[in-house]
Structure 1
């Protein structure tokens, strides 16, 4: 009889605890038609089957953090650098953002500084720092303001090298903003000398550029990488040989992550289950989104940003196995 009442009591406890879960979660991803939008739909489907009903909608890296902090969504994509800026209240955030926590870093982002080989040879350019030291009148482009690529590239120049967009213009250079496709075309048509952006380890846009012109991918100088890491929480990655024909030895660059952030007030056990479902379905997701194969417990949580207790518990357990 005592055993019966104990089981009954435990059952009532778990029912009451589970009742704290919301009836549905809202996931904010990226612009319609993009990779984040498609991946967000896939994750929502997996979580709906394995954990809790989840819907997925459009969003953006900066906007998602704010949307979640205001409890207008529960989960969303951003980048670790963007999340760090939000936590610290750095540009483009006007004050520190609260109420949003890290669930997982899911795959790496690499900064590519792609220069026409003829321009690099003519001007003796070996690293990104050479462009600044020589104060070259360079025709340069990155992605549009508001994107992570423009944000990280601009802050790297400002904090890592002490140079602003206006400084480049004062040398007789030009700073433009373009999409991946337009920037690639401008570089290949000799309307640009260098094009910079953030993207995953294997990027079709880089391969497309290499198929049309000879380029070099410039390494970022260590001192600049260290300064950016102190300010924005980034790290150093290497673009390794074997992926791009222009890379014959490791190229050091800015390392970042695409990550999932969650509403702080979500129950710990719910976030644990979300992380568990993400991990258990990694191989299935990676069949459609190859970069997700990089997800691993040792990199899932980063120091310096608040991580949800449920996520910390799950990834810590996986790290111990």
Structure 2
């Protein structure tokens, strides 16, 4: 009887061990892994907030226990570099600025490295249609050239949206928040939902932010009031590319009802930044789980359907060696 019980216990332990091994593999040394991974996402109501919950749940099941919390594209990098978090969402251009120690970072964030680019990020400058028609606005540049007293909002400082939108004004148009105010305009910082409501209630004229190709917040805004999505002038897109390594993406007219033609905007990538001092085995396991579970993740957050191995690592931005090795294997690059 004792022998039977012992065999039963051994079988149960084997099953449990197999079930909890996850994508990390059975022979990986996990002794240097954190007991719990701290994943910082984005502001409530946005795609990143939902993405953080989906990815951390998957990692808990497949790799190691993970928690998800709120955050922002700039603050996430700082907290990763200072080891106040293990991973976080940001965009590639902000990570590049952080590595170089450019504004708004006060020093080089050398412990912040890339785990993976997840999907493309688009900048949206959404203007009330009545305001655009009244002032003859056909692009973002018109606002600057005409020095319009525009009431605008973006997300809060510390988010990647605020960084990118402000950078477009500063680096693309040699302007900025102070200039907008000098024209008689105003700049507010709000959440996605609050910004959408301010636009609908005619308390602001423009709401600008960065998000994925097909964003529910944009559709919500379209359902509340008549708007236009402005293209970013070529001169600004070129200047942003030279300064921060961004690119040009096009908002397709098939996606949004307010778009009647292709709209060129500043393009970037939503990515995951992680601590460079974490073990290579962990970085490889996290990257592998993202790739292996991409269909599951894409079913929960549609933007993740865009993830490709070929675009997972950006040129000029250091990636964690464990992650870089995995992406090289699956992409063949």
State the TM-score bracket (shorter-chain normalisation). 0.7 to 0.9
How far is 1:70 from its partner?
Answer: 2.6
* Structure 2 partner of 1:30: 41
Aligned counterpart, 1:193: 205
Residue matched to 1:6: none
Task: Give the deviation of 1:216 after TM superposition.
Answer: 1.2
Give the deviation of 1:71 after TM superposition: 3.1
Partner residue, 1:96:
108
Spell out the pairing of 1:260-271 with structure 2 (5 A cutoff). Answer: 260-271=272-283
Whether the 8 Å CA contact 1:101–1:306 is kept in 2: the answer is yes
Question: CA–CA distance in 2 between the matches of 1:47 and 1:103?
Answer: 14
Contact persistence 2:28–2:281 (CA under 8 A):
no
Length-normalised TM-score, structure 1: 0.87
1:185-242 CA-partner distances (Å, limit 9, x unpaired): 2222323222211122222222222223222111001110111122222221111111
Match of 1:44 in 2: 56
Distance 1:241 1:167 in 2: 32
Q: Residue 293 and residue 215 in structure 1: after superposition, are their counterparts in 2 closer, same or farther (change >3 A)?
A: same
Q: Does 1:204 align with 2:212?
A: no
Residues 1-321 of structure 1: matches in 2 within 5 Å?
18=29, 21-22=32-33, 24-30=35-41, 33-34=44-45, 35-320=47-332
- The answer (yes or no) to whether the contact 1:28–1:64 under 8 Å persists in 2 is no
Q: Distance in 2 between matches of 1:102 and 1:15?
A: 25
Distance in 1 between the 2:69 and 2:190 partners? 25
Q: Please, what TM-score do these two structures have when normalized by structure 2?
A: 0.84
CA distance in 1, matches of 2:245, 2:97: 9
User: Aligned with 2:266: secondary structure?
Assistant: strand
Give the conservation status (yes or no) of the 8 Å contact 1:25–1:74.
no
Query: SS at 1:190's partner residue?
Result: coil
Deviations 1:16-59 (A, max 9, x none): 97255425341322358554344334323333333334444444
Q: Is the 8 A contact 1:21 1:270 kept in 2?
A: no
Aligned-pair Cα RMSD in Å: 2.4
Unpaired runs of 5+ in structure 1? 1-13
Does 54-63 or 115-124 show the bigger shift?
54-63
Separation (CA, whole Å) in 1 of partners of 2:318 and 2:207 = 33
The superposition leaves residues 110-168 of structure 1 with CA deviations (integer Å, 9 ceiling, x where unpaired) of 11111122222222221111111111222222222222222211111011001122222
What SS does structure 1 have at the residue aligned with 2:311?
helix
Do the aligned residues in 2 keep the contact of 1:29 with 1:36 (CA within 8 Å)? no
8 Å contact from structure 1 (residues 27, 55) kept in 2: yes
Structure 1 stretch 167-176 or stretch 148-157: which is displaced more? 167-176
Structure 2 residue ranges without an equivalent (≥5): 1-24
Aligned 8 A contact 1:25 1:73 in 2: no
Of 53-62 and 179-188, the range deviating more from structure 2: 53-62
